[in-house]
């Protein structure tokens, strides 16, 4: 459980109203300090020994008000709550026999209740109950300091209100602990989703380029013995694909190193190795290379230019993964077509090939990938559908449908 400061508006709780948060925190600090000063005045006015009161108030105020940034690592929530509560219990025990330290004020009760909230909210599960019982018990038994001085019935009158206050603060601590837990789960899920998105980015782009490198390398080995004069375009294609793969890895790793706060400030597609419909023509034109099958792009004039960025990026990924799979599983294909259409507010993306499934690639380069799985998750997250199936004669077909009614802002 993440350690937190205590006051109702703390620096550990995100808020959209920082000025109001600062005002509430300052109000709480001022109230605790004034109540502690009242304890000192009460002790002085009644002629009591002052140093036990000052020691207790110093421990309590430090435990409650010390900011997290200045709090040493050894000052755990268990220590913050147990030590002042233990000193309060000790003072109660001594006050029952020694009149010089028999004093009580609102400041001590206030910080004990705050420590009870801290114990329930911030202590580890194995310590939370023990520290809560210790601080709650110290709060409820403080009237016993005056046992024998006032009537027993009068002393017992203070116990129910203090027990009620202790129950309220314990319940508030439990509620805040639940909120902290839910927030932690939400943050973990957000980070996991971001890691999966980055993994998909890395897979889609690097796998596409590396597959092209592998295909062209195999081609270069065959041409080295028969047509060495035509090797230069093939080697140039390998160099370009390797450069693009390294650039994609550099961008993704740079984004991972930037941290979640910098990632959250990025605009859609900013500093991410993603594409859109405007770069789709370059992807299709560069598919075949110097000797591979040429791919053709058929774009319907009805496709809007201002589709949402996430839809364009997903459409680009569908085409990219489909072309990569053609290289992996149907290198004998002679025709590859990519078609875009827009009807009834839906973007249709179709990739077809006429390959028969022949591939000289090693098995490690052909199977066990996560491309289709990742594409399905990406498309369905946008409310679309993805279908992959063999064609009636021979070849393969990938069809994606995206709802595209909403325009980019």
pLDDT per residue as tens digits for the range 29-49: 899 999 989 989 988 988 888
Rounded Cα–Cα distance for residues 82 and 80 (Å): 6
Rounded Cα–Cα distance for residues 294 and 246 (Å): 25
Q: pLDDT class for 109, splitting at 50, 70, 90?
A: very high
Measuring CA to CA, how many Å separate 202 from each of 176, 254, 318, 365?
39, 12, 14, 16
**pLDDT at residue 218 in the model:** 64
The larger pLDDT score, comparing residue 254 to residue 183, is at: 183
**pLDDT at residue 15 in the model:** 42
The larger pLDDT score, comparing residue 306 to residue 10, is at: 306
- Can you give the residue ranges of every domain in the chain? 18-157, 187-403
pTM of the model: 0.55
∠318-277-239 over CA atoms, to 5°? 75
Per-residue pLDDT of 262-287, as tens digits, reads 444 444 444 444 578 888 888 888 77
Per-residue pLDDT at 345 exceeds 90: no
Cβ–Cβ < 8 Å for 88, 108: yes
Q: How many helices (H) and strands (E) does the chain have?
A: 11, 5
For the chain, helix, strand, coil in percent to 5 are 65, 10, 25
For the ranges 121-125, 191-195, 318-322, 325-329, the one whose mean pLDDT is highest: 121-125
CA 233 to chain centre: 45
**pLDDT at residue 131 in the model:** 93
Q: pLDDT class for 88, splitting at 50, 70, 90?
A: very high
When pLDDT is averaged across residues 100-126 and rounded to a whole number, the result is 90
Rounded Cα–Cα distance for residues 234 and 242 (Å): 12
DSSP calls for 208-263: HHHHHHHHHHHHHHHHHHH-GGGHHHHHHHHHHHHHHHHHHHHHHHHHHHHHHHHH
Q: pLDDT class for 147, splitting at 50, 70, 90?
A: low
Tell me yes or no: is domain 187-403 CATH 3.30.565.10: yes
Which of 7-11, 83-87, 400-404 has the lowest average pLDDT?
7-11
List Cβ neighbours of 78 (8 Å cut-off, separation of 6 or more). Answer: 123, 124, 127, 131
Which of 99-108, 185-194, 302-311 has the lowest average pLDDT?
185-194
Per-residue pLDDT at 186 exceeds 80: yes
Per-residue pLDDT at 344 exceeds 70: yes
**pLDDT at residue 328 in the model:** 75
Per-residue pLDDT at 258 exceeds 80: no
């Amino acid at each position: 459980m993440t350690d937190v400061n205590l006051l109702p508006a703390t620096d550990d709780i995100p808020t959209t109203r920082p000025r109001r948060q600062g005002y509430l925190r300052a109000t709480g600090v001022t109230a605790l300090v004034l109540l502690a000063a009242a304890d000192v005045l009460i002790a002085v006015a009644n002629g009591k020994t002052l140093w036990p009161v000052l020691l207790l108030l110093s421990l309590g105020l430090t435990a409650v008000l010390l900011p997290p940034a200045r709090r040493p690592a050894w000052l755990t929530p268990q220590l913050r709550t147990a030590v002042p509560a233990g000193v309060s219990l000790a003072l109660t025990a001594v006050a029952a026999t020694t009149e010089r330290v028999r004093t009580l004020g609102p400041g001590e009760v206030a910080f004990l209740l705050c420590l009870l909230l801290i114990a329930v909210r911030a202590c580890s599960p194995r310590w939370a109950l023990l520290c809560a019982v210790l601080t709650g018990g110290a709060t409820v038994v403080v009237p016993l300091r005056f046992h024998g001085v006032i009537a027993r019935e009068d002393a017992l009158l203070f116990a129910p209100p203090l027990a009620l206050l202790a129950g309220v603060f314990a319940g508030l601590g439990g509620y805040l602990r639940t909120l902290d837990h839910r927030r932690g789960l939400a943050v973990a899920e957000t980070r996991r989703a971001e890691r999966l998105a980055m993994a998909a980015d890395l897979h889609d782009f690097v796998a596409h380029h590396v597959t092209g490198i592998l295909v062209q390398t195999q081609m270069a080995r065959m041409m080295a013995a028969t047509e060495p004069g035509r090797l230069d375009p093939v080697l140039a294609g390998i160099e370009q694909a390797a450069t693009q793969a390294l650039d994609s890895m550099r961008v993704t790793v740079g984004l991972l190193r930037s941290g979640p706060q910098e990632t959250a400030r990025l605009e859609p597609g900013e500093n991410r190795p993603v594409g859109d419909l405007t770069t789709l023509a370059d992807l299709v034109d560069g598919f075949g290379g110097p000797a591979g099958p040429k791919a053709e792009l058929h774009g319907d004039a009805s496709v809007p230019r201002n589709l949402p960025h996430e839809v364009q990026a997903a459409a680009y990924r569908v085409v990219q993964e489909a072309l990569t799979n053609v290289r992996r599983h149907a290198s004998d294909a002679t025709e590859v077509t990519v078609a875009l259409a827009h009807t009834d507010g839906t973007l249709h993306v179709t990739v077809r090939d006429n390959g028969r499934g022949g591939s000289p690639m090693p098995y490690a380069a052909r199977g066990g990938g996560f491309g289709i799985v990742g594409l399905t998750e990406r498309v369905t997250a946008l409310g679309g559908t993805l279908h992959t199936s063999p064609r009636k004669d021979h070849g393969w077909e990938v069809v994606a449908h995206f709802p595209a009614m909403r325009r980019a802002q």
